[in-house]
Structure 1
């Protein structure tokens, strides 16, 4: 177990046995979460396990106000949800999480041309990136389902 990160393997054991009596037969119980929010996941787990040297000149960049970036919220939420699901796989779950999720999303997030472009840990958030330009499609091209 990694120091300071808690024992997430025991999280499923936190369910009170008396709750089972109230669960209708055949109803699937929602698995308990280790981290209640994406913010808690980032601050208490990801920031401590995914360590990199940060600089703007050609390496990695990070915004201490990551929650101001829509892309970052979406990617970090995806990382958190995948971690919560894959942690229950005692075999290769964590390896899959690193390979398929963290190793994919984190280089994009930390890229000097990624969503945190212009931000630095020292100077904070800098809303420098504009949304991608979009021209509305011709009317009728996309029909609601």
Structure 2
């Protein structure tokens, strides 16, 4: 993941180009082939078709069609994509593990009406009303670098 990904706010999200996060560097021999070239392609061509839910904000599930404007969503969906690309090669229980340990966990949070898409709707689109969690600076010397 890119440095500072978790520090972007919704106003910075306007400048995000999906799929621009570079994968960890590996040699050509070590790099397995990917089914999906970008997280955007994974979300649009796989996840959205395989993870169907009724969407509403009155106690059900919510989703932002501009999910790439939410740094938490980018991070979680990137993690889902990378886990899927890795676990798909396990012909035994890889996909079961992916659904149980990855997809169901992250999608429950992403689709939650109190999750990162709160205020967004598929009909009305993105709503950047959520503020970052408040943080006070720690005492000097608490974290030594």
TM-score (structure 2 length as normaliser): 0.80
Partner of residue 117, structure 2: 116
1:61 and 2:62 correspond: yes
The alpha-carbon deviation at position 28 of structure 1 amounts to 5.0
- For 2:104 and 2:121, the matched residues in 1 are separated by 22
Partner of residue 46, structure 1: 47
After superposition, where does 1:2-41 map in structure 2 within 5 Å?
A: 28-41=29-42
**In angstroms, what is the RMSD of aligned CA positions?**
1.3
Runs of 4+ in 1 over 4 A off after TM superposition: none
The number of equivalent residue pairs is 119
The structure with higher relative contact order (CA 8 Å, sep 6+) is: 2
**Any idea what the Cα deviations from partners look like across 1:30-75, whole Å, max 9, x if unmatched?**
1010001000000000000000000011100000000000000000
- For 1:120 and 1:130, the matched residues in 2 are separated by 18
Equivalent position SS for 1:138: coil
Partner of residue 135, structure 2: 134
- For 1:138 and 1:95, the matched residues in 2 are separated by 45
Partner of residue 144, structure 2: 143
Equivalent position SS for 1:130: coil
- For 1:94 and 1:71, the matched residues in 2 are separated by 24
- For 1:128 and 1:61, the matched residues in 2 are separated by 15
- For 1:49 and 1:55, the matched residues in 2 are separated by 18
Gaps of 5+ in 2: 1-26
Equivalent position SS for 1:44: helix
Equivalent position SS for 2:128: coil
Partner of residue 70, structure 1: 71
